[in-house]
Amino acid sequence: MTKKYYSIATIILVLIGIILSFELVRDSMRNGDFIGYLNAGNAVIDGENIYLDQYNTWPPFFSVFSVILAFFDNLSSVFIKFIWLLGSVLSMFFIINESTKLIFNKPINFKKNYGTILIQNPIILIPLLIVLRFVIDNLANLQINIYMLLCSLLSIVFFIKKKYMWVGFLLGLTISLKVYTIFFLFYFLFKREFKPVLWTFVFLIGFNSISFMVFGYEQTIIYYQQWVTEIAPKSYIANHNNQSIFGSFLRFFTSENSNIDLQVNVLDLKPYAAKKLTYLNIILFAIFPAILLRKKIKDRSSFNSILEYSLLFIIIPLLSPIAWKAYFIFLWIPYFVLFISLFKAQNELRTLTTKVLKFLFYLSIVFTVFSTEAVIGHYYSDILEAYSVITIGTIILLFITLFLITKSDKLDVKSLVSNT
């Protein structure tokens, strides 16, 4: 790579830094979804029903966790938001660093140094630019998803290192908070990796027992029943911002309100029928991945295994009942891995196959990134979301990843590692 490239890349990084700094200051003055976290924590402090607040759609333990945020918010609202946002930015740095170490066994650096990879390297910079809109979405809405991504990635890192207690701790914590990382637990069960599963259940019991200590046995049971029977089902909505598979099926196959003056449905099923249709399609399309991934993991740090892990980060936003745009920060891992696979690693795939895969990769970027209001405006962005454009872009990543898993023996990443 030329000196000119690194100069341009450095300028881009400086611009990213300025944007993130601006978001840190600006969003510290805003509520975003953070207000829901504070309301949940304050409800616990004040001894009120945690589910009286419409924003609280999370399991009871999330409200207990939010007490920490509410306490500091009562001391200084701007300060706790700034710290929360700063933590998100630092977490994204650690996510990039751990992702790089996962594949290249080298950390990132801002200066040339033996045994590290410059952050200006296109291997790092281009995937970062691809997911930057989701980073900004998380900052603008003061969301928790970047923290969840970091914990999920670390659970894979600890799994590779056979530090099962830490895997269980991170999965137990994140499942207790937001549930959607439960797909990692399903994966370990499916791969017959029972040690991380056992530790996850230990910490699930441990974290959720805190709710019993805070609310008392009877009230906690009432809260969990209410969350399962009333709160969680409400997340099954057709709102155009919900880019999960479930939201897409509701928009395409029912006349449910998509929160935009546009009907995209081709059928007029009942929501319950659409839900069953969604599950049926998920089961049918899961047959091939299930067969493909049925064998136990031999080499946990191999590139084939990393491709498998990437599937989990794709599945989380797709199969969560509700997935706002900020949830798709989880696509950092697949975009990072697939960019390396298609554009940097040597491969023995046919030329036509490689061109098709690269085209699909670009198409996914167009759908997931260039559909943002910053590019095409708020109105047209909403229309594209009603047509599930981010969902479709994510499904494209899923198919590319599945294909590469079947052809991982034709990808030469080792030579790239040694030359990076």
List the domain range (segments joined by +) for residue 401: 236-420
User: Is residue 103 within 8 Å of residue 306, measured between CB atoms?
Assistant: yes
Q: Report if residue 303 sits inside a domain.
A: yes
Positive or negative CA dihedral for 387, 393, 396, 401? Answer: negative
Strand 346-347, strand 411-412: pairing? antiparallel
Q: Report if residue 273 sits inside a domain.
A: yes
Q: Report if residue 118 sits inside a domain.
A: no
Q: Report if residue 351 sits inside a domain.
A: yes
Q: Report if residue 333 sits inside a domain.
A: yes
Check residue 85 and give its pLDDT: 96
Query: Which element (helix H / strand E) includes 381?
Result: helix 378-386
> With a cut of 70, which residues of the chain have pLDDT below it?
1, 418-420
Query: pTM of the prediction?
Result: 0.95
For residue 354, what are the contacts with CB-CB under 8 A and spacing of at least 6?
Answer: 342, 347
Check residue 375 and give its pLDDT: 86
For residues 102 and 123, give the distance between their C-alpha atoms in angstroms, rounded to a whole number: 13
Q: Report if residue 282 sits inside a domain.
A: yes
Q: Report if residue 60 sits inside a domain.
A: no
Check residue 315 and give its pLDDT: 97
Total domains in the chain come to 1
pLDDT single digits (tens) 371-420: 998 889 989 999 999 999 999 999 999 999 999 999 988 888 877 776 66
Check residue 418 and give its pLDDT: 65
User: Is residue 101 within 8 Å of residue 124, measured between CB atoms?
Assistant: no
Check residue 313 and give its pLDDT: 98
Q: Report if residue 220 sits inside a domain.
A: no
* 3-state class (DSSP) for residue 120: coil
- The pair of structure tokens assigned to 80 is 């706790």
For residues 301 and 272, give the distance between their C-alpha atoms in angstroms, rounded to a whole number: 42
Share of the chain above pLDDT 70, in %: 99
Check residue 235 and give its pLDDT: 81
- List, in sequence order, every beta strand (DSSP E) within 81-130: 108-109, 117-118
The alpha-helical segments, DSSP class H, found in 105-216 are 122-140, 145-160, 164-178, 182-190, 194-215
